[in-house]
Amino acid sequence: MPFGVYVHYPYCSRLCPYCDFNVAVTPEIPHDAYRDAVLSELAERAGDFAGRPPAVSVYFGGGTPGLWPSTHIGAVLDAITARFGLAAAVEVTVEMNPEDVNHRKLLALRQAGVNRISLGIQSFDDAVLQGLGRLHGAETNRTAIQTVKAAGFEAFSIDLIHGLAGQTLAGALADVSEACALGVPHISTYQLTIEPRTVFGRRSARGERLLVDEDRLAQLFESIRDTLREGGVEPYEVSSAAREGAEGVHNSLYWTGGEYLALGAGAHGFRLQGEGAVRWENERHPGRYMKAALGGQPSDAEHRVVTPMALLEERLFTGLRLDRGLWIDETLRRRFGESVAAQIVGGFLEEVDGRWRLTARGRPIMDRIILSLISASE
């Protein structure tokens, strides 16, 4: 079973109004203390993953880990390498905002061992970027992509967001077309979601309309996938598309049941245990996280044992996100075979080459289909 490491860096320059991730905005970022806390947590948790094969991915997410000094990222990466080793084709990703990208920083990250950059582009439309509360503009996005390529990063990814009220179908597809034309190897396209704890959530609760209507969202989903294909970037998961050989390694761990060690404030980890598994979330508050980790006792905000039955449901949910679908073993067929057969008759699922996969009709309502499969099989 492949194994990876996720490192969460919670600090940001500002809080985006739609963001529900574990982030913190502070005028003085404790770079050194946070590095030491992550290294201390690694020393305490590494034993839980003893005997695993070398890590296939190390992902620095956030927050904005591009704000962390490259020497600190390198120190954490060196410690992970010493504990577990890295696979020959390891993917080491750092998330960055376009306004923080510069050639010197990118070269320093490459020297530290980073070989993939993930850019929070979101759109190439200044009006959409302003509506999303982003600090950068469309021209900064274009410059950032060119700078990443000039620094020698053959592997990089960008995020695009669609569905903001006022965005037209043509505008959303223009974002995708431009990303393809710029030669981006991996593109993640996300529908804007309104989370209750965010600024957008509070504005929505007051009656402000922030999303385009549901019919438009459904149209956007399929049209975006078609536009990606036309641009040579093939969708392989509900929100992800890549040129040949550029599929994301780290997120594939989530979709295929791989294990991942979580380090940092609010990071989520997953470890197989017997026939089930364990999931945990670290203490979210950076200050409390650092105090606990530096004290040699990393603190969990949540620790949950996943039963074999629940793990099977998770396999169904994540596996059907993939365009190639979910490999069917006898356990899956025994639990879900009858309910899947009904969805095949309805035209929402199909069985091809030993896999269950969503059809074009079923993909836009994936969550509804999967919940129906689980409830019908209980």
C-alpha distances in angstroms, 356 versus 236, 326, 353, 370? 15, 5, 9, 12
User: Shortest CA distance to 262 belongs to which of 48, 3, 6?
Assistant: 6
Residue percentage of the chain with pLDDT more than 70: 100
Quick one: pLDDT at residue 301?
Answer: 87
* pLDDT (average), residues 153-157: 98
Claim to verify: residue 218 and residue 357 sit in the same structural domain: no
* pLDDT (average), residues 12-41: 96
pLDDT level of residue 142 (50, 70, 90 thresholds)? very high
Claim to verify: residue 78 and residue 163 sit in the same structural domain: yes
Domain final position from 253, 273, 288: 253
* pLDDT (average), residues 153-158: 98
Flag whether 283 is in a domain. no
Claim to verify: residue 132 and residue 20 sit in the same structural domain: yes
Domain final position from 205, 221, 253: 253
Give me the number of domains the chain comprises. Answer: 2
pLDDT level of residue 214 (50, 70, 90 thresholds)? confident
pLDDT surpasses 80 at 303: yes
pLDDT surpasses 90 at 29: yes
pLDDT surpasses 80 at 378: no
Quick one: pLDDT at residue 218?
Answer: 84
Q: What is the CA radius of gyration of the chain?
A: 21
Flag whether 284 is in a domain. no
Flag whether 333 is in a domain. yes
Quick one: pLDDT at residue 377?
Answer: 82
Claim to verify: residue 112 and residue 225 sit in the same structural domain: yes
Average pLDDT, rounded, for the chain: 96
Claim to verify: residue 62 and residue 185 sit in the same structural domain: yes
How many other β-carbons are positioned within 10 Å of the β-carbon of residue 166?
A: 11
Distance between CA atoms of 354 and 371, rounded to whole angstroms? 22
* pLDDT (average), residues 232-237: 97
C-alpha distances in angstroms, 65 versus 123, 217, 225, 243, 316? 20, 31, 29, 25, 32
Flag whether 16 is in a domain. yes
Tens digits of residue pLDDT in 263-284? 999 999 999 999 999 999 999 9
CATH code at 215? Answer: 3.20.20.70
Tens digits of residue pLDDT in 351-368? 999 999 999 999 988 999
Burial 339-369 (b: 16+ CB within 10 A, else e): bbeebeeeebbbeeeeebbbeeebbbeeeeb
Domain that residue 331 falls in: 325-378
* pLDDT (average), residues 313-330: 95
Flag whether 122 is in a domain. yes
Quick one: pLDDT at residue 217?
Answer: 86
Claim to verify: residue 243 and residue 336 sit in the same structural domain: no
Flag whether 290 is in a domain. no
Tens digits of residue pLDDT in 72-123? 999 999 999 999 999 999 999 999 999 999 999 999 999 999 999 999 999 9
Flag whether 299 is in a domain. no
pLDDT level of residue 230 (50, 70, 90 thresholds)? very high
* pLDDT (average), residues 217-237: 95
Distance between CA atoms of 236 and 255, rounded to whole angstroms? 11
Q: Are 222 and 238 in contact (CB under 8 A)?
A: no
Claim to verify: residue 145 and residue 42 sit in the same structural domain: yes
Claim to verify: residue 99 and residue 204 sit in the same structural domain: yes
Quick one: pLDDT at residue 69?
Answer: 98
Domain final position from 225, 253, 281: 253
Flag whether 294 is in a domain. no
